[in-house]
A and B are shown apart, each in its own frame.
Chain A
Amino acid sequence: MNLEAIMDYMPQLLKGLETTLELTFASLFSGLALAVVFTLILSLRFKPLEWLVKAQILLFTGTPLLVQIFLIYYGPAQFKGLQDSFLWPLLSEPWFCALLALALNSAAYSTQLFKGAVDAVPAGDWEAALALGMNKRQTLIRIVLPHAFRRALPAYGNEMILVMKGTSLASTITLMDLMGYADRLNARTYDTLTVFTLAGVIYLTMTGIMTLVIRIMERRALAFSN
């Protein structure tokens, strides 16, 4: 591992950084939106949908992310009907498949976090709102969810970092993210130690920055509890 090699590899690896960041934030954003909807469905016990959400959680927390990415990318090609449908341009796109897998995976774990936090909100929060003439839906949306999300933020911060690291698996379906460029560079140079150490350092730096940002968000969101 010498300085010259590092200076040579670094710019090539950083070419994948944009894809990694885009994929991370797009997945987190879609996953979060889904998780909020899923949490509402579970909390309000919308009967048929409740079972679907529970099945989704079981599938996506019960199988490896890599399996999910493979199934979503290679799976639809087996079905003639899907190949002819308007969805095909999206489903044949590795970027979109990786996004879909990561978002659904993150939604499943986040829903578990949020639902746990909703259940942990003291009964007094509910009772006070009902006693003030708010109905169940208003209470959930205006009082309980905001309280629960604040409480869930430290755990959700870990989920954000897991998703960021999880994007590296997208390189297995030909996506040229940070890990994709590292793979290519390794295949060309066989300088495995240097290449993957550098990739690791970049991931570590991103984790560090995200941790810092999450801590600041936590301090604001949980200011009430000090």
Chain B
Amino acid sequence: MGIVVQGLSKAFGSTTVLKDISFSIPKGETTVLLGASGAGKSTLMRMLNLLETPDAGTMNIAGMNFSFSEKTDEKQLNKQATSLRRKVGMVFQQYNLWPHMTVLQNLIEAPIVQGTPKQDAITRARELLDRVGLTEKAEAWPSSLSGGQQQRVAIARALMLSPDVLLFDEPTAALDPAITNQVVEVIKELSQSGITQVVVTHEVEFARKIASRVIYLEDGEIVEDGSAEHFKNPQTAEFKAYLEH
């Protein structure tokens, strides 16, 4: 139950952002989407939990099938998107923690809205905070935490729903290089647990540390797609140049 997409396209007005994107990711892999800014990698990842709607193509993710065309019924899609997002978690560049809620409240909010009893949610939240090394911070306000700590809270929050797939949108772009390793550790640990991860980044070093697969994009098209071996032996001149720059 991995991810299979076929023929995904997206244009904003007259600008084509993604052209006929197809790939498949087996379950449990940690895939890095690499590319220069403007290559379309963030848009592509936001399609995987339907924060962006593709103009065309099909998508199979977390056991749900989607097919997009001009006739896609927006209301129907919104409903499906809501259930999809409970299986496909997301971590943002700017963490996007809710600032007026404590760390614990940030974690338990979505599960409670979706019907989890409060006590169960709290128990699970404390387990996850242990796992990301923030046991002591349950009652803290997000603004009192460092960037690395906030990002780990955001990861724990996404894990509260036990997603099949976890998406990371430039998770280290706002972090000190030294702090980046905290996120690397968490992603590596998660990859042991069998969860499928997709990570957008433009930092090659970070990508090398976490990737089991890599997809390299340029101008909205996939240029290179393969195992982490491709970091050592790039198959295309473009990817080789990107790795060396």
- Do these two chains really belong together in a complex? yes
CA distance A114 to B68 in the complex (A): 37
Find out whether the CB atom of A133 lies under 8 angstroms from the CB atom of B100. Answer: no
Q: B110 at interface (Cβ–Cβ under 8 A)?
A: yes
Task: Kindly identify which residue among A122, A130, A225 contacts B143, using a CB–CB cutoff of 8 Å.
Answer: A225
Find out whether the CB atom of B161 lies under 8 angstroms from the CB atom of A133. Answer: yes
Task: Kindly identify which residue among A131, A135, A138, A143 contacts B98, using a CB–CB cutoff of 8 Å.
Answer: A143
CA distance A206 to B110 in the complex (A): 42
Q: A128 at interface (Cβ–Cβ under 8 A)?
A: yes
Q: B113 at interface (Cβ–Cβ under 8 A)?
A: yes
Q: B30 at interface (Cβ–Cβ under 8 A)?
A: no
Chain A residues positioned under 8 Å from B49 (CB to CB): 131
Find out whether the CB atom of B92 lies under 8 angstroms from the CB atom of A135. Answer: no
Q: A147 at interface (Cβ–Cβ under 8 A)?
A: yes
Which range holds the interface residue count of chain B? Answer: 20 to 34
Per DSSP, are chain A's interface residues mostly helix, strand or loop, or mixed? Answer: helix
B200 to chain A, nearest CB (A): 14
Which one of B34-42, B78-86, B231-239 is at the interface? B78-86
CA distance A146 to B94 in the complex (A): 21
Q: Which of B28-82 contact A (CB under 8 A)?
A: 49, 51, 78, 82
B159 to chain A, nearest CB (A): 11
Chain B residues positioned under 8 Å from A134 (CB to CB): 82, 110, 113-114
Task: Kindly identify which residue among A127, A138, A143, A147 contacts B92, using a CB–CB cutoff of 8 Å.
Answer: A127
Chain A residues positioned under 8 Å from B114 (CB to CB): 133-134
Task: Kindly identify which residue among B98, B158, B160 contacts A147, using a CB–CB cutoff of 8 Å.
Answer: B98
CA distance A125 to B96 in the complex (A): 6
Chain B residues positioned under 8 Å from A129 (CB to CB): 98, 109-110
Q: B10 at interface (Cβ–Cβ under 8 A)?
A: no
Given contacts A129-B110, A130-B85, A133-B86, contact A124 B94 (CB under 8 A): yes
Which range holds the interface residue count of chain A? Answer: 20 to 34
Task: Kindly identify which residue among A132, A147, A225 contacts B110, using a CB–CB cutoff of 8 Å.
Answer: A132
Chain A residues positioned under 8 Å from B89 (CB to CB): 131-132
| Interface-central residue, B51, B113, B157, B160, by most chain A CB under 10 Å | B113
CA distance A124 to B86 in the complex (A): 18
CA distance A206 to B141 in the complex (A): 34
CA distance A94 to B155 in the complex (A): 58
Find out whether the CB atom of A128 lies under 8 angstroms from the CB atom of B113. Answer: no
Find out whether the CB atom of A131 lies under 8 angstroms from the CB atom of B99. Answer: no
Find out whether the CB atom of A143 lies under 8 angstroms from the CB atom of B109. Answer: yes
Find out whether the CB atom of B143 lies under 8 angstroms from the CB atom of A127. Answer: no
Q: B18 at interface (Cβ–Cβ under 8 A)?
A: no
CA distance A226 to B78 in the complex (A): 37
Q: Which of A101-141 contact B (CB under 8 A)?
A: 122, 124-125, 127-135, 138
Question: Chain B interface (Cβ within 8 Å of chain A)?
Answer: 49, 51, 78, 82-86, 89-90, 92, 94, 96-101, 109-110, 113-114, 141-143, 154, 157-158, 160-161
List the 7 closest pairs (A to B, CB-CB), nearest first.
A133-B86, A132-B110, A124-B96, A128-B96, A131-B90, A133-B85, A224-B141
* Listed A/B pairs (23) with beta-carbon separation below 8 Å: A124-B94, A125-B98, A127-B51, A128-B97, A129-B98, A129-B109, A130-B51, A131-B49, A131-B85, A131-B89, A131-B90, A132-B160, A133-B86, A133-B161, A134-B82, A134-B110, A135-B78, A147-B98, A147-B99, A224-B101, A224-B141, A224-B142, A226-B143
